[in-house]
Structure 1
Amino acid sequence: MELIGFLLIGLAAGWLASIYMRGSSMGLVGNLVIGVVGAFVGGFLFRLIGFAAVGLIGHLITATVGAVVLLYAVGVLKKS
């Protein structure tokens, strides 16, 4: 059951990040992948600065921030 929750949070985070980054939508599967990888990136970044995600909203925020950072990094790498 935790895997399904993790995937749903990843899907929502990828969708929110694609809205925030304007025009970075990659479809359902792309948003899921960006959200799941973003969850790992966000968790790593938040642990570096000493924050911890608590609850559903905390995990969603962490995954969304990670997905936004990931989309930004991909955009920078595409331009160069």
Structure 2
Amino acid sequence: MILQPGGLIAWLIVGLIAGFLANVLVRGHSSGCIGNIIVGLIGSVIGGVLASMLNLGTFRFIGSIVISFIGAAILVALLQFITGSRN
């Protein structure tokens, strides 16, 4: 796999969108740009693992955002459960 600048930018955008949506829908507020990107990128990994376990195939940009959002929402909910915060 070759990391190209366009691919990196696309993953950052996907991470930002997925992290923002997950934080707003699960927590009720955003974590800031960097926090959203981190949550979204980790969520992308979680969602990608789940998608591959379910043999869902490959996705284009919108599908990647959806899978990343699902993973990010799982991550945020898990973090809330572990820390016990409701904010």
Q: Same fold (TM over 0.5)?
A: yes
* 1:1-80 matched pairs, under 5 angstroms: 1-79=6-84
Identity of aligned residues (%): 32
Q: Which runs of 4+ in 1 moved over 3 A?
A: none
Q: Which runs of 5+ in 2 are unaligned?
A: 1-5
Whose helix proportion is higher, 1 or 2?
Answer: 1
SS of residue matched to 1:15:
helix
TM-score when scaled to structure 1? 0.91
Deviations 1:6-61 (A, max 9, x none): 10010000011112113252111100100011000100011112212411111010
The unaligned stretches of length 5 or more in structure 1 are none
Distance (whole Å) between structure 1 residues aligned to residue 16 and residue 57 of structure 2: 21
Q: How many residues align?
A: 79
